[in-house]
Structure 1
Amino acid sequence: MADAFATITQRRMTGGFRIDGIEGKNIHIDPGPGALVRTYQFGLDPRKVNAVLVSHSHTDHYSDAEVMIEAMTRGMTRKKGTVVGSRSVIEGYKQFGPCISKYHLSKPEVSILEPSKSTKFGNIKITGTKTVHGDPMAVGFNLKTKDFSISYTADTEYFEDLHKYHAGADVLIASVIRPGNEKLRGHMCTNDFIKLVNEVSPKFAVMTHLGMKIVMNDAKKEARIVKENTGVNTVAAFDGMKTNLDQFIPRQKTLNDFEK
């Protein structure tokens, strides 16, 4: 996922990302331009998506949401799936949104999230996380199961209590738009992410929504800087990246463990 200029130039693909197999569910988050095409390109099936999550009302995060909903609901022929989004995405707020038609919201279950508000999706608890961004209703998402937690900051600038919304995350995914200490209102830079990773202490960290300066220079270098300053394994997302998250899920102890 990339910023608006990367979206326009397509220097980075802009289809959002998927979390597959979490409690038996497949979730597509922030399906921006090209989400449907890229899903097929990388060998996935949009019809197997169980939920679509949209953080806010900027086009690089929602433009393919309706077509992904059509895939999820078999062409709007079945009551199927779940849509979770900010108030601006689902209902509209002032000049922001709505981003998904009432028609497309008529088949799936629909939940509006605000910071600290939760909804249940099977065995997954999805909680909205606070952001400071151009869309004042924008939210991030914390996905929590019995043994595992993934947090996504969405687009936000760093603020003092940001870490509280992502506390306990095993995997932390964040929009990081600028390198070093280059500030941009409503977004994080690498130095901001270093502070957040140190405060949250995840097992694994992912930088996504990379801005043009990071994309054109050395995204891997920025990720290495985060790792060096936090001790947390950190990667800069690239087009088509796949990561097996099973390694970060606590393994249930067996009788053999106690006998050792």
Structure 2
Amino acid sequence: MDAFATITQKRMTGGFRIDDIDGKNLHIDPGPGALIRSYQFGRDPRKLSGVFVSHSHTDHYTDAEVLIEAMTKGMTRRKGIVVGSLSVIEGFKQWGPCISDYHKSKPEVTTLGANKIKKFGDMKVKGTKTIHGDPTAVGFQFQLKDITISYTADTEYFEKLHKYHRSADILVASVIRPRDERIPGHMCSDDFSKLIAEVSPKLAIMTHLGMKMIINNPEREAERIQEETGVKVLAARDGMHINLDQVMGQQQRLDDY
């Protein structure tokens, strides 16, 4: 976790949403500001179908409970799904739990680990392995008939990481440092470039950028990785919107995103 990027809010830390996927709206890793940023960018949290939390670090879970309240209409309806790591849902040693029993009482709650699969309608969600400070941290792969979206969550690169994200059309990764500046539990740009080459997605997105990445021009890093891999690579921006139909279509241009 890059605490300085979070506490300074050099970049927003509300996580990201996947909307209208199998008729569902999902919010992933709702850190500080997720509620207010949802409204700022025209996304109504009351229309959520699911909240996903990868691990029990504050920049990934702090707004989860208030989003659950929005999703369940102020805790008055049984609605939606909540999926998280063991630490988030049940607690593990000094990590978590991050969601109270009260907030778990209305939605359907699932604890997900690596290679575990949960089905929600026509969508399958697979937990992906991480190596991170929270030993139960998990990434998510959302599998549907027409599209597969993978999110590494916070993890350092390891030899078999690509196997958990194979078949991803869109690969979203936490990339905290530029070039080869590695720190434990996180990927740098060079690690992400290697992962992209192994997975071969249609689109790759760097998010959860640390302070060093932010001040070292993440867009330029994305361009460098794109040149190395031949895959379209984006550095996430606050309020960025990506049209999934364009990504999956045959006629999209690289400047459409």
For normalisation by structure 2, the TM-score amounts to: 0.96
Preserved CA contact (<8 Å) 1:88 1:97: yes
Helix, strand or coil at the partner of 1:27:
strand
1:65 and 1:4 map into 2 onto residues whose CA distance is 19
Residues 172-210 of structure 1: CA distance to partner in whole angstroms, max 9, x if unpaired?
000000000001000000000000000000000000000
Which residue in 2 is equivalent to 1:13? 12
Q: Where does the alignment leave 5 or more consecutive residues of structure 2 unmatched?
A: 251-257
Which residue in 2 is equivalent to 1:168? 167
Which residue in 2 is equivalent to 1:56? 55
Which residue in 1 is equivalent to 2:192? 193
Which residue in 1 is equivalent to 2:143? 144
| Pair 1:24-2:18 in alignment | no
Preserved CA contact (<8 Å) 2:178 2:216: no
Helix, strand or coil at the partner of 2:27:
strand
2:173 and 2:67 map into 1 onto residues whose CA distance is 23
1:189 and 1:243 map into 2 onto residues whose CA distance is 23
Alignment of 1:126-141 (within 5 A): 126-141=125-140
Kindly tell me the number of residue pairs found equivalent between the two proteins: 250
Which residue in 1 is equivalent to 2:231? 232
Preserved CA contact (<8 Å) 1:148 1:250: no
Which residue in 2 is equivalent to 1:94? 93
What code does the residue aligned with 1:174 have? A
2:113 and 2:200 map into 1 onto residues whose CA distance is 24
1:119 and 1:250 map into 2 onto residues whose CA distance is 28
2:181 and 2:30 map into 1 onto residues whose CA distance is 27
2:99 and 2:160 map into 1 onto residues whose CA distance is 30
What code does the residue aligned with 1:123 have? D
Helix, strand or coil at the partner of 2:35:
helix
Helix, strand or coil at the partner of 2:224:
helix
Which residue in 2 is equivalent to 1:36? 35
1:54 and 1:148 map into 2 onto residues whose CA distance is 21
